Chains A and B, each alone.
Chain A
Amino acid sequence: MKIDLFTMPQFSLRFMPIWRRNFMVWKKMAGSSILGHLADPVIYMLGLGYGLGGMLPEVGGMPYISFLAAGTVCYSTMNSASFEALYSTFARMHEQRTWEAILNTPITLDDIILAEIAWASSKSLLSGIAVLLVVWIMGLSHSWLSLWIILVALLVGLCFASLGLIMTALAPGYDFFMYYFTLVITPMVLLCGVFFPVSQLPPMLQNLSSILPLTHAIDIARPLLNNAIPANLLMHVAILLSYALLGFYVSLVLFRKRLSQ
């Protein structure tokens, strides 16, 4: 029997011990990790929100710092998942040979990829909660609806973890990830309405923006922080989930190919 590269993923609960392993590693440096999750958004929101916001009238019908808060939530969660799925996953796969050790046990590659996505999403979830706390403490949102941000963070995590893993599966080394951050992540941040409304862009770039996942995440997060139910909620969720599932499958096929060499 030949294991086909394109076989659908075989899910099992055996991914859980890998998630726990990553959690155990994380716990050893939880302090600095949480500090990073908190400090980054605070610096952005204070610096840009008050600095730039002071010179601006309302943006998108709200004070600039509130506008920026939703962007920051999505931007931070995207970054958390991406860094984990690129650099940390690559270290586990390549440098530390952690996967090689795991594959000698009853765990399969499908379990490992599921665990990597679950773990990177967990980091996003944590980052989302951290930013939400900052938003609340700064008094930028008073809505119970903002609690849904926690689920949005998880969704953004699933999406960008899966997309990031595609790069990891293709990467010859760490330098390769610069392409992804320079050519994908940075343009995405500028095109998807983190710092300014998408409507400011020329029509062609607006069209491009409409297919990028971060746009849909922000379209969910921004109303929630402003006490409104997002328009076209199901569509946005479906698009993010589709990116996640597609990324999962493509990365799994690529990892199977890479590790069968």
Chain B
Amino acid sequence: MNVVLSARDLRKSYADKLVVDGLNLSIQRGECFGLLGPNGAGKTTTLRLLLGLISPDNGTLGLLDHAIPAQARAARLRVGVVPQFDNLDPDFTVAENLLVYGRYFGMRDAVIEARLPELLEFANLTQKRDVKVTVLSGGMKRRLTLARALVNDPEVIFLDEPTTGLDPQARHLIWQRLRELTARGKTLLLTTHFMDEAERLCNRLAVMDNGRIISSGSPRELIAQNIEPQVVEVFGDQAIAWANIHAAHLARRFEISGESVFCYVDDAQSLLHELQHHPQLRYLHRPANLEDVFLKLTGREMRE
């Protein structure tokens, strides 16, 4: 079978709070699957359950033909993990970090040493081989963490918010590397709350909130299924007053967020025409994207 990862009716609660609530997942070999959701949606808990680090209260889990958590050790031999928070060894150099991590998989030193040049090359860290990790930039640390997750040549790679906190240059380099991995046939499961990241990288996505998957499909499908194709964002002092009079009948749906109005339409012609009469309002007309879907499904209120 080509399903490398499956979860059925997965449930987990902490102190009576249901964190994962009847989750179903099935990921095929070679897919890049994205798990989206606001903070506290249950993404990280789901990853920990899939890796067998915590036990579910209910449900069945499979990872690479192994039942989880019973055979988690055997499954983790063939999995790589890029965690959300940096946990590189601060006492070691770049190369030592890779060496020590490879040993955790039971690899012999000679085998790890032979893989080092390729891993360093992949992480663009060949020149930094013998530098202590404490002096690396945030982007370099992330790349090293990614290389570390590949030390055992895993079939499946888990990435928990792989680009959070990185500048645009560093993010683009990570994205390029992740695309290379999918091109090599690796299966990727990543969590993120950056919609552009999900849209660029993932074949398939699931939007998660309150421990459940509330919608899933390819990025295009999610947009087509959940939202009107075009968006007009209107800004300015009188935007809200304008919206209550005009957007109400010109748009299929509109939302107010602070000083901005988001108008969702099938065809923007008449709305754009009406906006010509209000030169004091600024606006942006664009196709609907995943962020619109995400905000529609999970709401605009802050999650803290």
Q: Which residues of A contact B (CB under 8 A)?
A: 1-3, 14, 17-18, 20-21, 24-25, 28, 96-98, 100-108, 260-261
Given A105-B104, A105-B105, A106-B105, A97 contacting B76 (CB threshold 8 A): no
Q: Are A1 and B89 in contact (CB under 8 A)?
A: no
Q: Are B85 and A97 in contact (CB under 8 A)?
A: yes
Q: Are B83 and A100 in contact (CB under 8 A)?
A: yes
Determine the interface band of chain B, counting residues with CB < 8 A from chain A.
20 to 34
Whole-angstrom distance from the CB of A256 to the nearest CB of chain B? Answer: 10
Whole-angstrom distance from the CB of B227 to the nearest CB of chain A? Answer: 36
Given A20-B103, A104-B51, A1 contacting B81 (CB threshold 8 A): no
Residues on A with C-beta less than 8 A from B103 are 17, 20-21
CB-contact partner of B91 in A25, A97, A101, A103, under 8 A? A25
Residues on B with C-beta less than 8 A from A3 are 55, 69
Q: Which residues of B contact A (CB under 8 A)?
A: 14, 51, 53-55, 67, 69-70, 73-74, 76-77, 79, 81, 83, 85-92, 96, 100-101, 103-106, 152, 158
Assembly CA distance A52 to B292 (angstroms)? 79
Assembly CA distance A260 to B69 (angstroms)? 13
Residues on A with C-beta less than 8 A from B88 are 101
CB-contact partner of B101 in A25, A101, A260, under 8 A? A101
Q: Are A24 and B106 in contact (CB under 8 A)?
A: no
Given A1-B70, A106-B105, A108-B73, A24 contacting B87 (CB threshold 8 A): no
Q: Which residue of A lies closest to B158 (CB)?
A: A104
Residues on B with C-beta less than 8 A from A1 are 55, 67, 69-70
Q: Are A17 and B100 in contact (CB under 8 A)?
A: yes
Assembly CA distance A100 to B85 (angstroms)? 10
CB-contact partner of A107 in B54, B81, B104, B158, under 8 A? B104
Per CB-CB distance, the 5 closest pairs between chain A and chain B, nearest first, are A97-B87, A17-B103, A105-B104, A104-B81, A101-B87
12 contacts between A and B (CB under 8 A): A1-B67, A14-B104, A21-B89, A24-B96, A24-B100, A25-B91, A96-B90, A98-B89, A100-B83, A101-B87, A104-B76, A106-B106
Q: Are A21 and B100 in contact (CB under 8 A)?
A: yes
Given A3-B55, A260-B54, A102 contacting B90 (CB threshold 8 A): no
Residues on B with C-beta less than 8 A from A103 are 53
Other A-B contacts than A24-B91, A25-B91, A104-B158, 18 sampled, CB-CB below 8 A, are A14-B106, A17-B100, A17-B104, A21-B100, A24-B92, A25-B89, A98-B87, A98-B89, A100-B87, A101-B87, A101-B88, A102-B104, A104-B76, A105-B76, A105-B105, A106-B77, A106-B105, A108-B73
Whole-angstrom distance from the CB of A27 to the nearest CB of chain B? Answer: 10
Whole-angstrom distance from the CB of B90 to the nearest CB of chain A? Answer: 6
CB-contact partner of B74 in A2, A106, A261, under 8 A? A106
Assembly CA distance A3 to B281 (angstroms)? 60
